[in-house]
Structure 1
Amino acid sequence: MNNIVSLKWLLARLYETDIVIVDCRFQLGKPDFGREAYEASHIAGAVYLDLEKDLSAPVDEHGGRHPLPDITDLTIALSKVGISNETRVIAYDDQGGAFASRLWWLLKYLGHEQVFVLDEGFTAWQNAGFPVNAEQKVLVPSRFLATVQHNMLVEMDEVKEKLGSENMTLIDSRDGARYRGEVEPLDKKAGHIPGAINRLWSEAKGEGGRWKSADEQAARFEDLPKDRETIVYCGSGVTACPNVLALQEAGFSNVRLYAGSWSDWISYEENPIEVGEEGNASKA
């Protein structure tokens, strides 16, 4: 399954009328960073969607730090920037593909198939001498109709119910130190969901920040059975998305996102927590 497109692929199709290029740059803790970076310079013709304003709902008691956006609100935001059901969407960022993958996942979740993540990101595009500018594209609204793929998403109750199941693989996409509970810079509790294994999301990328090939992604997950349901989470449901994409590239077909992720899990006081290494974890 090809979910990644190269810089040269996009360059050759830059002005095709059915393509919408979406700048997804964002920086945690700096809410205006992405919009300001976009306004300074972006891939020619790109539009901007913001992780927290467009691709997430407001934070609540539960749902994590980046709750999934309301489907109606999201379809309106997509339609406003010219995305229809027939559009080919190319998402990019400059943060390793994490935020572009969030848009990729959301569009797939809404039933949109023709969505891709741009390999390498904005700086590589700019360094290659490909067209950039600061012009604001005149937005011609389109009409996007969602066909929600509910099987792509899993909620906290279902994750909890399936803990310890031999038919489910649970993947934590965060840095190893956070997974083990040694540090926690963002959330109120440290550790991981019991039984989860650790596969750092950024290991989907190889030399020069390029996405690994399908065979290389398969090698990352070769110890995991493909016939099992695979549930992926991270801190807030964003950096899990590159792992979902990588698992699909590797040939896994039953992959689901726990969108609320760790920040949602710990919002329920009674939920169990583990700390320590895989296979040697203890209850926190």
Structure 2
Amino acid sequence: MNPSPPWTTLVSPAQLAAALDDPMLVVLDARFSLGDPGAGEAAWREGHVPGARYVHLDRDLSGAHVPGAGRHPWPDARAFGRSLGALGITPGHQVVAYDAADGAFAARAWCLLRMAGHRRVAVLDGGFAAWRAEGHPVDGTVPEAEPAPPYPVTFDQTRLFDAARVQAHLDAGGLLLDARGAERFRGDAEPIDARAGHVPGATSRPYAENLADGRFKPRSELAEEFAALPGGGNPLRTVAMCGSGVTACHHLLAMAHAGLEGAGLYTGSWSGWIEDPARPVATGQD
């Protein structure tokens, strides 16, 4: 029987631990390091939430590059459907994703599934660090997933934005929320991409502001903070971006948890924006 009620945004370590024996639960380990792309999978092999299947940001949660797609392209629907099938995920499963701690990479898995129409997907609040801190079991056995048919993925294209749609969104007075650190937004430092700065008209809100003591802030607090942004927190007038369309998903998750579901994602984000040298770049706080 499925965990009840369904988990659609966040789940606590205790809640997940109580449901591990549920045959309709699939746990995904999304730990990853941009500096060492093999580190997350190595850590999973050493120890993970019992039964967790590993998803790699580059292999499983990103697609092939096309112009403007950025460093972590949004995957093709059919290819992503095959990946979900290989993980044993069907439309009936409850999925829980986690990463090392803050949910940045797990939120990418959550966003992909949600945009594919899968409602029963959540992120483990506090990640593997919280799981271990609470003394829940850790398994070093690599699980064998029972493959399922390819998942029938149809992405919600109304919520997936390219550069042209982002510019039109800004021109219409919409909010473009940049999840990168403030120093990258201002252009003070750029450790990853070829150019520093931000999309003109974007608003800075580092994704870490969604957290307190390593966990997501309470729903009411998040709702107040998003409401204080330009546009009053209206998700239908909000598009999130970051460096490559990964940590931006953290904002979509935080907003959904606060009851503000429906925001869009600039899939190419900053790395996609600067692929065209003719696009304008802003620096500083505004």
Task: Give the TM-score normalised by the residue count of structure 1.
Answer: 0.93
In the alignment, which of 212, 215, 228 is matched to residue 217 of structure 2? 212
In the alignment, which of 63, 74, 85 is matched to residue 79 of structure 1? 85
Give the conservation status (yes or no) of the 8 Å contact 1:180–1:192: yes
Q: Deviations over 1:83-118 (max 9, x none)?
A: 000000000000410110000000011110000000
Aligned to 2:260: 252
Aligned to 1:106: 112
Moved more, 155-164 or 5-14: 155-164
Pair 1:151 & 2:155 matched:
no
Amino acid at match of 1:154: F
Runs of 4+ displaced beyond 4 Å: none
Pair 1:122 & 2:122 matched:
no
Q: Deviations over 1:199-255 (max 9, x none)?
A: 010111112x11111111112212232445101100000000011111222332440
- Deviation, structure 1 residue 24: 0.2
Show structure 2 runs of 5+ residues with no match.
1-6
The alignment-based identity, stated in percent, is 39
State the SS of the aligned residue for 1:220.
Answer: helix
Give the conservation status (yes or no) of the 8 Å contact 2:177–2:202: yes
Q: 1:107 to 1:2 in 2, by over 3 A?
A: closer
User: Partners in 2 of 1:226 and 1:22 — Cα distance?
Assistant: 30
Pair 1:232 & 2:240 matched:
yes
Task: Give the TM-score normalised by the residue count of structure 2.
Answer: 0.92
Residues 131-170 of structure 1: pairs in structure 2 closer than 5 A: 131-143=137-149, 144-166=151-173, 168-170=174-176
Aligned to 1:5: 11
User: Partners in 2 of 1:194 and 1:127 — Cα distance?
Assistant: 42
- Deviation, structure 1 residue 69: 1.5
Q: Deviations over 1:165-204 (max 9, x none)?
A: 22x1111111111101111111111111111111010111
- Deviation, structure 1 residue 2: 5.1
- Deviation, structure 1 residue 60: 4.7
Pair 1:222 & 2:219 matched:
no
User: How many residues align structurally?
Assistant: 276
User: Partners in 2 of 1:95 and 1:259 — Cα distance?
Assistant: 23
CA RMSD, Structure 1 to Structure 2 (Å): 1.5
User: Partners in 1 of 2:172 and 2:200 — Cα distance?
Assistant: 11
- Deviation, structure 1 residue 27: 0.2
- Deviation, structure 1 residue 158: 0.7
State the SS of the aligned residue for 2:227.
Answer: coil
- Deviation, structure 1 residue 57: 1.6
Residues 50-61 of structure 1: pairs in structure 2 closer than 5 A: 50-61=56-67
Amino acid at match of 2:100: D
Residues 259-278 of structure 1: pairs in structure 2 closer than 5 A: 259-278=267-286
- Deviation, structure 1 residue 7: 0.4
Aligned to 2:4: none
Give the conservation status (yes or no) of the 8 Å contact 2:8–2:119: no
